[in-house]
Amino acid sequence: MKMNGAQAVLESLKREGVDVVFGYPGGAVLTLYDAVYRNQFRHVLTGHEQGAIHAADGYARATGKVGVVFATSGPGATNLVTGIATACTDSVPLVCFTGQVANPYIGKDSFQEADVFGITTPITKHNYLVKDVHDLPRVIKEAFFIARTGRPGPVVIDVAKDVFDTEFDYEYPETVHLRGYSGDYTGDEAEIDEVVAALQQAKKPLLFVGGGVNGSDTSPILRDIADLLGAPVTCTLLGLGTVRADAPGFLGFAGMHGSYAANMCIQSCDLLLCIGMRFSDRVTGKVSEFAPHAKIVHFELDRAEINKNVQADYRVLGDLRWSLPLLAEKLKAAGDDFAGRFRSWRDYTAKIAAEHPFTYQPDGEAIKPGALIMKLSELADEDTIAVTDVGQHQMWAAQFFKTYKPRHFLTSGGQGTMGYGLPASMGAKIGCPDSHVILFTGDGSIMMCCQEFATIADNDLDIKVVVLHNSILGMVGQWQRLFYHHHYSQSELKGHTDFVKLAEAMGVPGARLTKASELDTRLPELMAHKGPMLIDVMIPEEEDVLPMVPGGKRLDQMVLGGND
């Protein structure tokens, strides 16, 4: 077929099953946007390029598909950097098309020129600079293959402006040939045999589940393994939803603000099966004293993660889509009554969890974050997708909101990107239009990408935006309170921003809650409203997220509150 580079991009996206792109036009991509117009290709215009890439990220996390972004050259492309880094750290599959100045102008400090290839090299799984239109179909085919196979991640395709304009004979390749990369992550079966043998010797095993299980869509087989073993389960922040919140033996998430039971059981178990997680410092606490009594098993497909932060006694290197079904098969074949042997251990951990739940102290008519989120969890159905920004509200949401399905708790884990939530919730809703979507955000985070209220209104996206409004950068303030003598240096927000008016100015209705009694009298009606809604909830300024493991401490050295 004869077509220009811009038309080739859209035709290639169709071949890859892409049904929507997020983006923002500019001079270097005008031909591409003309093709969007002519082809009536679904495109969501955001208020800012950062909003576009976070929306694509939310879409990818919620659906499991590759998110796609368009941006122009120079500042348009560099505005994607935060979102690219966010997706890279959390292993989210994205393909980002950026415009570049035309070939004759590259390297001459031309108007809106930036070295996008160089800038994004450290924060992408792979990237390209396309200067010849004949390379475009192959590059796009490779980009999607790289983004979605193995450990997923973002791929950037920087395209010279004249490539979009050039006509050529288009042919989309059916296969990918990449030297040194096959996308096949089948491992060594003997490594799984060693894990089964270790389980046969263990008395107190604990499953520790990470975002890799969500990303590989292996939650169903993981749940089967948990049932086979009858062992307790904990997870990372990105692992929420891999097992049901009400599953027998589930201890909640672990780490700095994780549950008492999860952290204490990590420190006392004798075999820790870590599946699809990378031992972030927010999870391990003091690394040298992490899980001191346990043999550690690491199921991981990225060789670079093995022994990077924590030394593993056993490794299973390979894709979870290969390793977990095989593990389940071998556990069944072992003929061992694992669930019977581990019942007393799981009962013991369940007792600890029951005695030390996430909790809060009521205080008259003050709205406590825990009470708010528990009420929202009660009002939500099991198909509700929870999205968070970053800060105290993120941790409260992880603690008190019940997640029952994989890909239903979306948050920026590794980068902790403020501003992620509002656009990511848009992407989640566009990708999963039949699911309810709730965003938990703070009065600091919401300002980072607040322009996307206009995008929500323009696209009539039924998203409930819940602002936990405490007039301070909550997590910064908590650390300043605990470790910097209450020196609130540049963290107090004056409280002059009226978020209800802000949202209404961009077409989203809003309401404000100030009293605890309104959680019963007004919140249900607001959540039942058809269409988008901002709910500004006033909470106490000096409310801490507890429990908390202070930096450099062991997981069992937790600040619980009061005198504990």
Is residue 111 annotated as part of the catalytic site, yes or no?
yes
Q: Which of 62, 79, 76, 63 is nearest to 29 (CA)?
A: 76
Q: Phi, psi at residue 58, to the nearest 5°?
A: -60, -40
How does 237-266 read in b/e, with b if 16+ C-beta sit within 10 Å?
A: bbbbbbbebeeebbbbbbbbbbbbbbbbbb
The Cα 408–Cα 437 span in angstroms is 9
* Annotated catalytic residue within 1, 111, 167, 361: 111
Q: Would you tell me how many other CB atoms lie within 10 Å of the CB of residue 436?
A: 17
* Annotated catalytic residue within 7, 100, 112, 399: 112
Give the burial class of 325: count Cβ atoms within 10 A of its Cβ; 0-12 exposed, 13-18 middle, 19 or more buried: middle
How crowded is the C-beta side of 244, counted as CA atoms within 13 Å? 9
Question: ∠555-274-203 over CA atoms, to 5°?
Answer: 80
Which strand (E) or helix (H) includes residue 13?
helix 5-15
* Annotated catalytic residue within 256, 264, 448, 475: 475
Amino acid at 37: Y
Is residue 161 annotated as part of the catalytic site, yes or no?
yes
Is residue 97 annotated as part of the catalytic site, yes or no?
no
The Cα 472–Cα 437 span in angstroms is 25
Q: Which residues pair with 205 in a beta bridge?
A: 271
Asked if 437 and 463 count as a contact pair (C-beta separation under 8 A), the reply is yes
Is residue 49 annotated as part of the catalytic site, yes or no?
yes
Name, in order, each residue with C-beta under 8 angstroms of 114's C-beta and a sequence gap of 6 or more. Answer: 73, 74, 75, 77, 78
Amino acid at 472: I
* Annotated catalytic residue within 161, 204, 368, 429: 161
Asked if 214 and 407 count as a contact pair (C-beta separation under 8 A), the reply is yes
The Cα 298–Cα 171 span in angstroms is 43
Tokens 């990470």, residue located: 210
The DSSP 8-state label assigned to residue 130 in this structure reads E
User: Is the Cα dihedral 105, 106, 109, 115 positive or negative?
Assistant: positive
User: Is the Cα dihedral 508, 514, 519, 521 positive or negative?
Assistant: negative
Structure tokens that stand for 413 in this block: 């884990």
Q: Which of 347, 102, 387, 359 is nearest to 231 (CA)?
A: 347
* Annotated catalytic residue within 7, 22, 41, 49: 49
Is residue 189 annotated as part of the catalytic site, yes or no?
no
Question: Catalytic site residues?
Answer: 49, 111-112, 161, 475
